[in-house]
Amino acid sequence: MAIFKDSDRPEINQVSPIAAIPGGEFQIRGRNLAKINRPRVLLGDVQAPIVIGSNSFVIARVPEGVSTGDMVVECGLTSSSSWHCGIGVQIADSVHPVANPAVDNFGNVYTTFSGSRGQKTPVSVYRIDVNYEMKPLVTDIMNATGLVLDDEGVLYVSSRYDGIVYQVTPSGDMAVYVEGMGVATGMAFDHDRNLYVGDRSGTIFKISRQRQIYVFCTVEPSIAAYHLAFGPDNSLYVTGPTTSSFDSVHRINPAGESEVFYRGLGRPQGLAFDAEGHLYVAASMGGRKGVVKIDPDARAELFLSGPNIAGLAFTPSKAMIVATNNALFRVDVGIQGFLPS
């Protein structure tokens, strides 16, 4: 009978990133991870497939059906102490977001079924309540794209098909807010409640509360969409994937002057700020897909791992809602989102 010493036990020293959704990967560093046999990684009672396994470094992929982030590495008959990771729990499927979801003050989540260009879908926008019950809210918008809420709880929806931004009340009543926005994609409000709309052909429009339209800034055209978010510095941050694999986050000051805030992301899409001024971007970095966290000094790290992420948003309960191209996940990250005030 083999005798195992404490010095033979697997030991987890670091897990990166701190969170993931199914299909994402955790990089595990430690000791004795494969000293005796090939390692086994468990998330709760679900075994995670091993991508790479060595004595000091393991990459494990998050499988479907995981509901807890308590990670243990087993090797032979020994196992490590538990390490807690953030795991995304699916709250909706059969959707098609192409940008950030929106979250109201009550915690209701709004997302789109956008469809391919010119495709009429049965539902344009869904509302998911705090019990994760999903119901249709809007049915008559072609290619619903960007979503943003104002301070009165009115939802604004852009259409990349007809260039219109629609207003939608909590009861689902819809009206045209502004027209002529080109290939209208991402939207954001500033602290004065002016609305900004990205036309992916190269223009950021500014619409005043009186619905006067201005060209705020011109930037490089995007092959997919512009995604917008205001930061605590009152600057507008913009992503728009191009054919490059080394794309940028642009920062536009209140005068409409643009500069590169961060360069080096693959296909950057939806973005959001936390209350401490960190920017989170759906993108890949160094070949790793997920959500990238960038601090105010433009230092970046992978925050969450996962494939096909189009956008994200923070909830009043300090969770992150992650939108892939066909589902939504809730990740309890304990982070307060930033709202312009």
pLDDT digits (tens, 9 = 90+) for 45-58: 999 999 999 999 99
- Average pLDDT of 310-331? 98
User: Does the pLDDT at position 5 exceed 70?
Assistant: no
Q: Containing H/E element for 322?
A: strand 319-324
Instruction: Report pLDDT digits (tens) over 11-22.
Output: 999 999 999 999
Instruction: Report pLDDT digits (tens) over 66-86.
Output: 988 999 999 988 999 999 999
In 200-254, DSSP assigns E strands to: 203-207, 213-218, 227-230, 236-239, 247-252
Instruction: Report pLDDT digits (tens) over 265-289.
Output: 999 999 999 999 999 999 999 999 9
CA-to-CA distance for 132 and 93, rounded, in angstroms?
A: 11
Q: Which pLDDT value is given to residue 7?
A: 73
Q: What is the CATH number of domain 91-332?
A: 2.120.10.30
Q: What is the CATH number of domain 6-87?
A: 2.60.40.10
CA-to-CA distance for 121 and 104, rounded, in angstroms?
A: 24
Tokens 């619409």, located at residue: 207
Tokens 């009429």, located at residue: 120
CB within 8 Å of 297: residues ≥ 6 apart: none
Instruction: Report pLDDT digits (tens) over 143-179.
Output: 999 999 999 999 999 999 999 999 999 999 999 999 9
User: Does the pLDDT at position 201 exceed 70?
Assistant: yes
Q: Where exactly are the structural domains of the chain?
A: 6-87, 91-332
User: Does the pLDDT at position 308 exceed 80?
Assistant: yes
Tokens 């005796």, located at residue: 36
